[in-house]
Structure formats: structure tokens, C-alpha cells
Amino acid sequence: MPVDRVAELWRMFAAERVALGLDRGALPMRRDVAFGADRAEALATFLARAAQRYRSYAANERTGYARPSAESIGPRLIHGTVQDCAGDVVALAKRVPLTTLIVRPHWTDMSRQELLAYLAQLGELVDALR
């Protein structure tokens, strides 16, 4: 879901909670994170890795399939170098009161080595956000 829509829904949710005398609550958010030498490489790697999953989603939810593109996925994907991704998370947290970022660490075609490298990069991302 685009961040603008998340922010809009969050404002509505928080207003209802405040009207009921409740605190605003937490906002965990699920986002895919893709690392690469630069944004273009990270996005291309993500699109290649996610293609099969998107075809499966489309087969179950739609009558047609349009291959995901940089234009359709890029704005919703945290991607680039670890530092790029840290900047994206900080920018996201400025738009919505993000309390927890939930990521998908593994894709079905990832090797054990790729998974371990990805987890190491996630650790670097966490360190960069501290």
C-alpha cells in the first residue's frame, strides 16, 4: 500500500481511538527491503526474485497478470545500499508513526548463503537506525 494511503488511514484510525479516549496505538508496518550496490541493482534483484510470487498472487486474485515494474513496486519498496534503506526508513517514520518494521527475510529461491548475507545486511540496517 502506498505510504500516502497508509498515512491517511492512520490519521482516521488515530482520530477514532482518541475520540474513544484511547491512546493512538502502535503502527507496525510490513515493507519489503532489498539491498544492492545502488538503488537500481537492489530494485532489479527484488523484481527478479519476486516475479514468481507476484504471478502466484495474480493467479489467485486476478484474471490478468501485469509483470511488476520499477514504477509500480519502487515507491513501496525500501531499497538500495544499507545507508539508502536507513534513509528510507527514517523518511517513512516521519510520515507515519512507525513502531515496528516487519520484513520478509527469505524468498523461496534464496540459497542459504544469500539468506545469511541478507540477514547480515538487515543487522547493518538496524545498526544504522540506532
pLDDT at 111 over 70: yes
CA distance 123 to 5: 29
In a domain, 63, yes or no: yes
Q: Is 126:90 a contact under the CB 8 Å cutoff?
A: no
Enclosing domain of residue 88:
27-129
What DSSP designation does 63 have? S
In a domain, 15, yes or no: no
In a domain, 59, yes or no: yes
pLDDT at 54 over 80: no
In a domain, 16, yes or no: no
> Can you read off the three cell numbers belonging to residue 87?
534513509
Share of the chain above pLDDT 70, in %: 89
pLDDT at 103 over 80: yes
SS3 98: coil
For the chain, the domain total comes to: 1
SS3 77: coil
pLDDT tier at 95, thresholds 50, 70, 90: confident
In a domain, 108, yes or no: yes
Which candidate, 33, 44, 42, 43, places its Cα nearest to that of 129?
33
pLDDT tier at 76, thresholds 50, 70, 90: confident
In a domain, 2, yes or no: no
In a domain, 33, yes or no: yes
